[in-house]
Structure 1
Amino acid sequence: MAAIEPMVDVGMWVMNSKLMDMAVLREIILGTIKHTFYEHFVAGKDLPEVGQTIVKLREAGLRGILNYGLEHAGDNQSCDQNMEEIIQTVESTKSLPPSSVSFVVVKITAICPPRLLKRVSDQLRWEYRDHSYNLPWKLNTLPIFSDSSPFYHTLSKPDPLTPQEELNLQLAHQRLVKISQKCVEHNVPLLIDAEDTSIQPAIDYFTYSAAILFNKDDNPIIFGTIQAYLKDAKERLFQAEKAAEKMGVPMGFKLVRGAYMSSERQLASALGVESPVHNSIQQTHACYNDCASIMLEKVANGSGALVLATHNVESGKLAAAKARDLGMGKNYQKLQFAQLYGMADTLSFGLVNAGFQVSKYLPFGPVEQIIPYLLRRAEENRGVLSTSTLDRQLMRKELLRRFKATIR
């Protein structure tokens, strides 16, 4: 059902409609979702439940990436609350089986309001275009842009950050530092997710400044995310990696295809500018595979660490073959493959059986909180489920086998 795109449209309409204001209907809707989509794609409502899921995954040879569904905070108070929830998630890993959790996830929008991230991104874009533009608050970081990066979000010189905005930026940075310190304490890497290009420069700024502080001794604690469907992805990735290597900072990267294709193209079209997204899926595949191949070589030579997050079987096969050729086989800790919980299990178990470290991305949280989050993810990932044909073919085959076994 989730592979049928109109289901996403219906779900979005229902969750945003006045039906949710009616107590009885709300309970019926949430109850239906909880026992169907929620239980398939969500690892649990709280840390004890997600812990049970992780134990089951570990028995199957998989690890877990913990993602408490927090994002889009509106003020400092909600940012502080989100920080505490993320810290509790990190602390919970000490009660789980050793090495069963590969990462804890943070979305910077959970600890810094998106409107401030947009302002910071505008400042960073303008500084790249005008080197005389001074940013007194800027910390040491890695390259964020390439010449091919999209700059149409900032068409005119932005006003400098106000004293209050600078204070809020400092507070957000302190939140990330506290979370990172807790990750160092518990030896759990922190995976910082990517978002849309209007705020991604600020997210990269947070990521790289934290990596410079905490990634030491060839042990990346902070991992950034590169979205390969963006035309500037390869250049930005290699520039950041090269700068990190020069500084002696072991950088961790997660490589994904991307999740904001529709909104990115719509905005670019509305402004009459070229889309930042590759013009075809074949170009995105090529970019992903090229980035993966080159980064595998760098990691094999001792430079940083890599997470290859993909549901694409061909990309998985290519990367696995390359990794084996480079001697990055069983128990090689600096390479991880990853897929979403409830999706691409065929690829996950295939990679595990081939001797690689594989993790499942585990969103968790109360139904009321996580459902809107999942609907946004479904909206952003349109087409991902509909292309997971291999999994669905194998499910149908197994269902048919069980049915025949039952009636014999």
Structure 2
Amino acid sequence: MANHRVFQSLRSFTRPLASTSASATSAAVSPLNLTQNPNPTATVLNFDDVKELFSSVKTTKLLRSSINLHAAAIEPMVDLGMWAMNSKMMNMVVLREVMLGVVRRTFFEHFCAGETPAEAGKKAVELWESGSLRGMLNYALEYANDNESCDRNFECFLQTVEATKSLPRSSVSFVIVKVTAICPLALLQRVSDLLRWEYMNQSFQLPWKLKTLPIFSDSSPFYHTPRKPNPLTPEEEQDLQLAHQRFQKICQNCSNASVPLVIDAEDTSVQPAIDYFTYSAAIEHNRDDDPIVFGTIQAYRKDAKERLFRAANAAEKMGVPMGIKLVRGAYMGSERELAASLGVESPIHNTIDQTHDCFNDCSSYLIEKAADGSAAVVLATHSIESGNMAAAKARELQIGKENQRLQFAQLYGMSDSLSFGLRNAGFQVSKYMPFGPVELIIPYLLRRAEENRGLLSASALDRQLLRKELKRRLKAAIL
């Protein structure tokens, strides 16, 4: 009876998918020609056999994913939801509870892995047992403004690491941390200003600075710091020390639990301080062949390639194995708006093709580093083209699932077809799994909704393949 109701609901979701033009930030892949490969690279990923692709996914899950992805692709609905979540209605108890209830049963369940470390861990195990995909557990709070908030977030990150100890080791690939959640944002801005000024003025000394890998290149944006910043006050130095202690404790606990730590990237105003935290910790903790601390490079930045090369070369000379997560980036609009308001050149590539080229170049370089054993890499991409190119490069260098130094990753609830395609091609694949109390994860959900505008191509592919598989299952049930 339950299956009958499910298949009755499928009928309205098995109509042909309307064509959708890709936005300027989406991957240039036609959803109507799934195996077309515009590059001379060999086609590694296969999306033709949807039965095999989604064999590990229950029909109810497919249906809910289809509904949520269709809703997220309707821009007026996204605009309305974003307006409501940011409106004064959230201050009205009854309306707030109604809206949070709707969010919890729709986008939160689709894009998030629960509200607690235990719930997220359970979802990670389910993901592994049903589809051989691993979980990257992320307590998805993004910003803190005082030490009290930082301490609360810090305890939640420690609980996340602790939760991994009771899970099958194969089910969790990484724990994710945002430095902005354990160090006050204003302090990160101050530290970034001082680091920028030091790079531009070699005689400028920072007495509190730890040993680190290169953070900047000559093409990095420095307009955030137009004049010499004041030194940190004694109170600021004490807060910085507290933040370092929190971060070092998380790194040490990850090392003890044998679960690597990925530090997420932020916008250019605070990224230098985040890289400073990351690289100084990498020097201390990445002593064995398998790195514990992973930084993040955003390929949409014009200085991404040069910064990556400089950091990797310095790490190799120091005998420090590098861990890097490569992404395209998530702050394009705000970065360009700030640069325009200051009358300076944007730090973001001028075209999406330049971003694609940068990502693919960095990806190729990192895969070579993974092959020779000097680095470990997570290629976080929703682009079919980039995924296929990286998979082809990895096969050329004989990197497969047994090599833990190369992993692919996609957001939980997004690009499942790419995740399953890479898994079926024989690679390690993880899903980025945010979790936390619904009312505190709203900023993350709003950002996912906004970013989805730039992922229409990958989303359209997912929606088409989901529709095709749902239609196939419906026919099989009827016949």
Q: Specify if TM > 0.5.
A: yes
CA distance in 2, matches of 1:386, 1:39: 22
What TM-score results when the alignment is normalised by the length of structure 2?
0.83
Deviates more, 1:376-385 or 1:97-106: 376-385
Cα deviation, 1:235-256, whole Å, max 9, x if unaligned, reads 0001000000101110100000
If you compute each CA radius of gyration, which structure gives the higher value, 1 or 2?
Answer: 2
Cα RMSD of the aligned pairs, angstroms, is 1.4
What TM-score results when the alignment is normalised by the length of structure 1?
0.97
Residue in 2 that maps onto 1:306: 377
Does 2:342 match 1:271?
Answer: yes
Letter of the aligned partner of 1:42 in structure 2? C
Residue in 1 that maps onto 2:289: 218
> Could you tell me how far 1:343 is from its partner in structure 2?
0.7
CA distance in 2, matches of 1:215, 1:179: 14
> Could you tell me how far 1:374 is from its partner in structure 2?
1.5
Residue in 1 that maps onto 2:14: none
> Could you tell me how far 1:407 is from its partner in structure 2?
5.5
Residue in 2 that maps onto 1:12: 82
The equivalent position to 1:164 in structure 2, one of 235, 242, 245, is 235
Cα deviation, 1:41-84, whole Å, max 9, x if unaligned, reads 11112122222211221121110000011221111111111111
Q: Is the 8 A contact 1:256 1:309 kept in 2?
A: yes
Matches within 5 A, 1:250-329: 250-329=321-400
Matches within 5 A, 1:160-239: 160-239=231-310
> Could you tell me how far 1:309 is from its partner in structure 2?
0.4
Gaps of 5+ in 1: none
CA distance in 1, matches of 2:453, 2:311: 29
Gaps of 5+ in 2: 1-70
Secondary structure at the residue paired with 2:245?
Answer: helix
Does 2:425 match 1:354?
Answer: yes
The equivalent position to 1:80 in structure 2, one of 151, 162, 182, is 151
**Are the structure 2 counterparts of residues 381 and 395 from structure 1 closer, same or farther at C-alpha, using a change threshold of 3 Å?**
closer
CA distance in 1, matches of 2:75, 2:323: 34
Letter of the aligned partner of 1:51 in structure 2? G
**Are the structure 2 counterparts of residues 391 and 294 from structure 1 closer, same or farther at C-alpha, using a change threshold of 3 Å?**
same
Does 2:92 match 1:22?
Answer: yes
Residue in 2 that maps onto 1:150: 221
What is the number of equivalent residue pairs in this alignment?
A: 408
Letter of the aligned partner of 2:96 in structure 1? R
Q: Is the 8 A contact 1:260 1:381 kept in 2?
A: no
Secondary structure at the residue paired with 2:239?
Answer: helix
Letter of the aligned partner of 2:407 in structure 1? Q
Residue in 2 that maps onto 1:398: 469
Deviates more, 1:238-247 or 1:368-377: 368-377
CA distance in 1, matches of 2:336, 2:431: 29
**Are the structure 2 counterparts of residues 243 and 275 from structure 1 closer, same or farther at C-alpha, using a change threshold of 3 Å?**
same
Deviates more, 1:382-391 or 1:397-406: 397-406
> Could you tell me how far 1:387 is from its partner in structure 2?
4.5
Letter of the aligned partner of 1:22 in structure 2? M
Does 2:198 match 1:110?
Answer: no
Cα deviation, 1:3-45, whole Å, max 9, x if unaligned, reads 2333332222111212112222112111111111111111112
> Could you tell me how far 1:380 is from its partner in structure 2?
5.0
Q: Is the 8 A contact 1:3 1:386 kept in 2?
A: no
Deviates more, 1:380-389 or 1:192-201: 380-389
> Could you tell me how far 1:386 is from its partner in structure 2?
5.7
Secondary structure at the residue paired with 1:388?
Answer: helix
> Could you tell me how far 1:132 is from its partner in structure 2?
0.8
Residue in 2 that maps onto 1:58: 128
CA distance in 2, matches of 1:210, 1:46: 27
Secondary structure at the residue paired with 2:174?
Answer: strand
CA distance in 1, matches of 2:177, 2:456: 24
Does 2:104 match 1:34?
Answer: yes
Cα deviation, 1:190-226, whole Å, max 9, x if unaligned, reads 0000000010000000000000010012120000000
Secondary structure at the residue paired with 1:85?
Answer: helix
CA distance in 1, matches of 2:228, 2:199: 12
Moved over 6 A (4+): none
Q: Is the 8 A contact 2:415 2:458 kept in 1?
A: no
CA distance in 1, matches of 2:224, 2:368: 35
**Are the structure 2 counterparts of residues 377 and 394 from structure 1 closer, same or farther at C-alpha, using a change threshold of 3 Å?**
closer
**Are the structure 2 counterparts of residues 89 and 385 from structure 1 closer, same or farther at C-alpha, using a change threshold of 3 Å?**
farther
Q: Is the 8 A contact 2:72 2:452 kept in 1?
A: no
